[in-house]
Structure 1
Amino acid sequence: MKKHILVVDDQPGIRFLLDEVFTNEGYQVSTANTGKEALDNIHTEKFDLVIMDYKLPIMDGLQVVKQLERENLMIPAILMSGLAEILAKEADSCPLVKHVLAKPFNIQEVCNIVDSILY
């Protein structure tokens, strides 16, 4: 059974890149454009990991993670941000956030982090 990853970013290029990379790595990948769309997907499908931009329209990445915690949906998350240092401090209080990735990121590093969380 393939592990299922949800990629959430409002930039189509990043969604496409991560979708392609993780599909090639043997994962099942779904994508979402906003935090609200991410939650809608999570309520209808089972995911093993969420890779999400911090800055999203409607609802930011940290708000989505906190909503998952409130609903007791224990899906590990990786948050991406151009301001990773600032976000890392905020994310410390969220047990579901397993890693904060600085943008731009190194694809091999992202793959290693995902593998370490899922296996």
Structure 2
Amino acid sequence: MNPDTYATLYGPARPTPSPRGTGVAVVAAALWAVALLLLSGLGFLALWATADTGPTEGIPLHWAPICLAIAAVPVILLRTPPVRRLSVPARALVTGLAMCSIAVGLVIWVA
């Protein structure tokens, strides 16, 4: 087949327009960045406080359920049917909003 056939029949190839949702993806990325920054800062402060109290036998066990609960929130949220029907940027926005609110709540609670 002649490679110019498509151009002859249909005209020059036009790239598809960028999908909608770029602004939503940027906001979702910003929310996730803020949430991860706050949670990593809290983790650093918690490890520093534990190291400051003296010798311990590793990370305290009461941190494990808190960390698992925080990590389970976006997974459980993504499994709900209303969120599954959303587009990928909208899903990232919903989970980012949930994680950012959890992180801000933990920072306020710690402060």
| TM-score normalised to structure 2 length | 0.26
If asked which structure has higher relative contact order (CA below 8 Å, sep 6+), I would say 2
Larger relative helix fraction: 2
Structure that is richer in strand per residue: 1
